[in-house]
Amino acid sequence: MSKATSIMAKNISSVGEFGFIDLIRKRMSTSGSVLKGIGDDAAVVSLSPGKKMLLTTDMLLEGAHFTLTMPPSGIGHKAMAVNISDIAAMGGVPKYALVSLGAPPNLPLDYLLKIYQAMDKTAQQYGVSIVGGDTIKSSKLIINVAMVGEADEEKIVYRSGAKVGDRIFVTGRLGSSLKSGRHLTFVPRLKESQYLVKHFKPTAMIDISDGLVGDLGHILKESRVGAVLSEDAIPRYPDASLKNALYDGEDFELIFTVPFKQAEKLKRIKMPFRFYEIGEITDQERQCSIVGKDGVRQKITVKGYTHF
Ligand SMILES: [Mg+2]
């Protein structure tokens, strides 16, 4: 039996925790700033001098966030990319990841290795090294990725900085991400975020995991402001209704706010990305409204997806 077919035939319990770690260790690539990756009690990494450290983590649970009928490549990509998106939403650059796994003992080894392969591929694409993690037995598949990133302190963008009169932008089209499968292949907006913090001064930023209105709601709450959106201006996919674009979530586009003058510049200059202006920050704390195609302004409820 060839090496490949022997892995195909196995499930995770047949190689055991340490056998599995050895398989992963051989397959993960690391950058030069990793002094010790997988294979000791803790990883040892270098951080760039003068930078601030960003920390984030995201858990995906079989049944809630993915099913085993979905391609393992998509699940692996998503597990890594949601964390990269969170670091991007702060204006930072992702560096290191820890991957923890809860796996049912009868899960095919091949399926798991494909998830890791996809995580490693996406990690590498964005300059991230997988440097460790943990593995436990579980009744359902759980994948948790913790990520370390870094940023210049003055470039970090919080949810709390939006000011009255600021313009609101998104980095791409919205809606029907789960239904269409786009949530498994989305592009975390790291390049866009880096471009923004280098050339502009965004006052607030967040990535869309719970829906445009829900996540904009976090900016409104933390910044103690309100927002008015324009229905016509909200970019959405052909398979998405306005409602889909407002509430679906899992788009992983960035919402950001910039002062009026910067918004004008953002729309005027030639740049490698397309940013969509969708509305304006108002002084009505935590109130959100939308101006329809007919010009009528309607209040919308600020709520997104909640897990409980
Ligand atoms: Mg987020």
**Any idea which residue has 């498994």 for tokens?**
184
CA of 72 to the centre of ligand 1 (A): 23
CA of 98 to the centre of ligand 1 (A): 18
Which tens digits make up the pLDDT trace of 41-66?
A: 999 999 899 999 999 999 999 998 89
Which tens digits make up the pLDDT trace of 160-212?
A: 999 999 999 999 999 999 999 999 999 999 999 999 999 999 999 999 999 99
Proportion of the chain above pLDDT 70, given as a percent? 96
Q: Which amino acid is at 198?
A: K
CA of 128 to the centre of ligand 1 (A): 18
Query: Which contiguous run of DSSP H or E holds residue 17?
Result: helix 12-27
CA distances from 227 to 160, 243, 247, 285 (A): 14, 17, 16, 8
Q: Would 3-154 and 157-300 be classified into the same CATH topology?
A: no
- Name the CATH architecture for the domain at 3-154: 2-Layer Sandwich (3.30)
CA of 166 to the centre of ligand 1 (A): 21
Q: Rounded to an integer, what distance in angstroms lies between the CA atom of residue 170 and that of residue 233?
A: 10
Q: Tell the CATH topology of 157-300.
A: Phosphoribosyl-aminoimidazole Synthetase; Chain A, domain 2 (3.90.650)
Q: What is the pLDDT of residue 28?
A: 80
Across the range 260-274, mean pLDDT stands at: 94
Residue 61, strand partner residues? 142
Two tokens, residue 21: 């770690």
Q: What confidence category does residue 145 fall into, taking pLDDT thresholds of 50, 70 and 90?
A: very high
CA of 84 to the centre of ligand 1 (A): 10
57 in Cβ contact with 144 (< 8 Å): yes
Residue 101, strand partner residues? 135, 143
Whether residue 29 has pLDDT greater than 90:
no
- Residue 95 CA, chain-centre distance (Å), reads 14
Q: What is the pLDDT of residue 2?
A: 55
129 in Cβ contact with 32 (< 8 Å): no
CA of 86 to the centre of ligand 1 (A): 5
Which tens digits make up the pLDDT trace of 216-227?
A: 999 999 999 999
Q: What is the pLDDT of residue 32?
A: 80
Q: What is the pLDDT of residue 199?
A: 95
Q: What confidence category does residue 290 fall into, taking pLDDT thresholds of 50, 70 and 90?
A: very high
Whether residue 267 has pLDDT greater than 70:
yes
Whether residue 94 has pLDDT greater than 90:
yes
Q: What is the pLDDT of residue 308?
A: 72
Whether residue 125 has pLDDT greater than 70:
yes
Q: What is the pLDDT of residue 12?
A: 87
Whether residue 213 has pLDDT greater than 90:
yes
Q: What is the pLDDT of residue 217?
A: 96
End-to-end C-alpha distance for the chain, whole angstroms: 48
17 in Cβ contact with 102 (< 8 Å): no
* Domain boundaries defined on the chain: 3-154, 157-300
CA angle 202, 206, 208 (to 5 degrees): 135
Which tens digits make up the pLDDT trace of 228-258?
A: 999 999 999 999 999 999 999 999 999 999 9
Q: Mean pLDDT for the chain?
A: 93
CA of 11 to the centre of ligand 1 (A): 34
